Amino acid sequence: MITRPEGNKHEGCHSCRFWRQGPSEERGPDWGECRRMPPTLPPMEEEKLVHVGIWPHTAEDDWCGEWEAR
Ligand code: SF4
């Protein structure tokens, strides 16, 4: 498991310019979507007429190497 680099606790999704906070009933109030990359599409099911893109859901204290300040 990769751990956050020491001394970079402010560099989390909560302070990243790519993060859109969006509280989730399933996950809790401190979750949101990472908009760093375009959404991905779930596997196509023929009977569905509408497909919706999905962004990764991350918690506000999550982080990754793509972090950029707001
Ligand atoms: S996963 Fe990375 S790029 Fe996405 S919001 Fe969090 S820190 Fe930013």
Residue 54 β-bridge partners: 40
pLDDT tens-place string over residues 42-55: 777 777 667 788 89
Evaluate if pTM is beyond 0.85.
Answer: no
Q: How many CB atoms lie within 10 A of CB 24?
A: 13
| The pair of three-digit structure tokens given for residue 56, joined into one six-digit string | 């990764």
The token duo for 49 is 């007429």
Asked whether 4 and 13 are in contact (CB, 8 A), the reply is: no
Ligand 1 pocket, CB under 6 A? 13, 16, 18-19, 34, 36, 58, 62-64, 66-67
What stretches of the chain show up as alpha helix (H) in DSSP? none
- Is the pLDDT assigned to residue 62 strictly greater than 90? yes
**Residue having the nearest C-alpha atom to atom 6 of ligand 1:** 13
Among 14, 36, 54, which is best to mutate for testing ligand 1, by the most ligand atoms less than 8 A from CB? 36
| pLDDT at res. 16 | 96
